[in-house]
Amino acid sequence: MVIKAIIFDCFGVLVTSARVVLKKDYPQYKNQIDDLNHQADYGLISRQQFDEVILSSDVDLAKPEIAIFELMADRLGVEPNECIMIDDTALNVEAAKNAGMQGIWFVSTDTAQNEFDIILGSNYA
């Protein structure tokens, strides 16, 4: 099986540290910092960096619902078994696996990299 897509939990994996710093320095803007559209305005995240961005509020689905993982794969034009989902919540990783994806529970960059290498190694061995 070939991995064709890597899916990230945006805020739990990609921009958590930046968000934490901003909320510490600007507590009066906590709600705005937590909002994805404002995240893009602050330059923390750009939709152009990704092939797809799915917001739960836009699709009336949320993790750990299986349907949101299926939607992610569909929007990327791949099968769920061709995806790796990286999330900081174990329940969401388990749900991604139940949808047919590979899953990595993000607890640190090093452990995620090790798990990623194992998945890729097993897929290309």
What CATH number is attached to the domain comprising 42?
3.40.50.1000
Overall number of domains in the chain: 1
Percent over 70 (pLDDT), the chain = 78
8 Å CB contact between 82 and 120: no
Whether cis (ω within 30° of 0) applies to the bond prior to 64 is: yes
Percent over 90 (pLDDT), the chain = 43
Range of the domain at 83: 5-124
Average pLDDT, the chain: 84
Integer angstrom CA distances of residue 68 from 29, 106, 111: 29, 19, 25
Please report which confidence band the pLDDT of residue 18 belongs to, taking 50, 70 and 90 as the band edges: low
pLDDT in tens, 37-96: 566 655 566 667 778 888 887 899 999 999 999 999 999 999 999 999 999 899 999 999
Residue 102: per-residue pLDDT: 96
Residue 10: closest CA among 40, 30, 32, 31 = 40
Higher pLDDT, 108 or 104: 104
Residue 83: per-residue pLDDT: 97
* Predicted TM-score (pTM) of this structure: 0.74
